[in-house]
Amino acid sequence: MEARLKPRGSDRLWVLLFLIPSLFGVALGGVGSSAVSILLSFTDWNNVSPPHWVGLANYIASLKDSQFLEAVSTTLRFTIVYVPLCLVTALSAALLLNRRLPGQGFFRAAFFFPSLTSAVAVALVFSWIYAKDGGLLNRALGLVGIPPITWMGSKTIFWAVTIANVWGAVGEGMIVFLAALQAVPSLYYEAARIDGAGSLRRFFKITLPLISPAIFFQIVIYTVNALQAFEYIYMLARRQQGASEMTTAVYLIYRNGFRWFNMGLASTEAVLLALVIVIFMVLYFRAEKRFVYYE
């Protein structure tokens, strides 16, 4: 859209004044701090002594560091499980709600509410659900004679944390899908029905292509969130002295940067994580041309 007015007289000063907060925001927030992060990633800054230029040392150390590599692999594993689970659950919920049924609004609100509440409170409830003694899950399993399981133990914690995370994220995707589904013209379905297309065929030939932009959008959002997963993991998997049963990339950045104040290394890890996100986005937007249907 074209800007309409040319500032005159005192307007010029006001335009500048109105933009000053955002100019600072760009400098300190987004663009400026990205540049600083990249600079810091080449130093050994520890928040106390003056930084020294160390060149690529942090990058080489990170790529050789088994902790970092494991954190990246945990993050990727989490992403690969989390994104499809969120998508399928959110889409199923949206399809269920995409009928005019009494109580539809109530169910929609109930399904959405978890994604509005704080991860901290939700994770606290989940740690009680997963509790070995008297937790809801073990209690339910006890009814069918299964002995209590240590859900927060190293074998199951990945799944326990992932499920809690998915639970908190389904609502937002559901709302996006629901809006997309409601925008599909019912005319298409009627025409397909007259041509004798069954409901599965209608779903794959009409619904899915028409809501594919919304699905693509939500895959992007879920992936970015998954690669940056932190809050549930902090609440459910952290142990004494900053250790964690499930160290994701962001958890490692938090620990190196803000518990041990190894800020040069943490910056390097943050830049590498940003690169991973960029790689995902490039791949996604390439795939978009093939799989996403725009009218």
Partner 1 sequence: MNKGNPSRRARLASALGSGATYILLLLGLIVFAGPFLWMLATSFKIPAEQFSKSLLPHPFTLVNYERLFTSARFLWLQVFNSFQVSILSTIGQILSCSMAAFVLSLYRFRGRALLFALILAGLVIPAQVTLIPNFILFSKLGLVGTKVPLWITSFLGGAFGTFLLRQYFSALPGELAEAARVDGASLPRIFFTIYLPMAKPALAGLAILTFTGSWNELTRPLIYLPSNQRLTTLTVGLSLYQAQYAGQWSFLMACAVVSVLPILLIFLVAQRRIIEGSAITGLK
Q: Binders of partner 1 among 123-152, rule CB under 8 A?
A: 124-129, 131, 133-134, 136, 139
C-alpha span between 35 and 27 (Å, rounded)? 10
Which positions from 238 through 277 interact with partner 1, judged by CB under 8 A? Answer: 250, 253-254, 257-258, 263, 266-267, 270-271, 273-274, 277
Which residues have a Cβ under 8 Å from the Cβ of 168 and sit 6 or more positions away?
114, 115, 117, 119, 122, 232
To partner 1, the closest distance from the beta carbon of 233 in angstroms equals 11
C-alpha span between 58 and 55 (Å, rounded)? 8
| Surface-to-core class of residue 212, CB atoms within 10 Å of its CB (0-12 exposed, 13-18 middle, 19+ buried) | middle
42 binds partner 1 (CB under 8 A): no
Going along 227-288, which residue ranges are E strands? none
Contact 237, 244 (CB under 8 A): yes
Local structure of 244: helix, strand or coil: strand
69 binds partner 1 (CB under 8 A): no
6 binds partner 1 (CB under 8 A): yes
CB closer to partner 1, 56 vs 179: 179
Part in contact with partner 1 (CB under 8 A); list of ranges 32-40, 65-73, 148-156, 286-294: 32-40
Contact 247, 262 (CB under 8 A): no
Part in contact with partner 1 (CB under 8 A); list of ranges 34-42, 63-71, 73-81, 152-160: 34-42
36 binds partner 1 (CB under 8 A): yes
CB closer to partner 1, 127 vs 150: 127
The alpha carbon torsion through 138, 142, 147, 151 (nearest 10 deg) reads -10
176 binds partner 1 (CB under 8 A): yes
Which positions from 72 through 131 interact with partner 1, judged by CB under 8 A? Answer: 93, 96-97, 99, 101, 103, 107-122, 124-129, 131
186 binds partner 1 (CB under 8 A): no
28 binds partner 1 (CB under 8 A): yes
Q: Tokens for 7?
A: 């500032």
Which residues have a Cβ under 8 Å from the Cβ of 44 and sit 6 or more positions away?
51, 52, 54, 57, 58, 264, 265
Local structure of 7: helix, strand or coil: coil
Which positions from 202 through 231 interact with partner 1, judged by CB under 8 A? Answer: 217-218, 221, 224, 227-228, 230-231
63 binds partner 1 (CB under 8 A): no
Contact 138, 132 (CB under 8 A): yes
- Binding partner 1 (rule: CB under 8 A), the pick from 145, 186, 196, 200 is 196
282 binds partner 1 (CB under 8 A): no
Q: How many residues bind partner 1 (CB under 8 A)?
A: 99
To partner 1, the closest distance from the beta carbon of 84 in angstroms equals 18
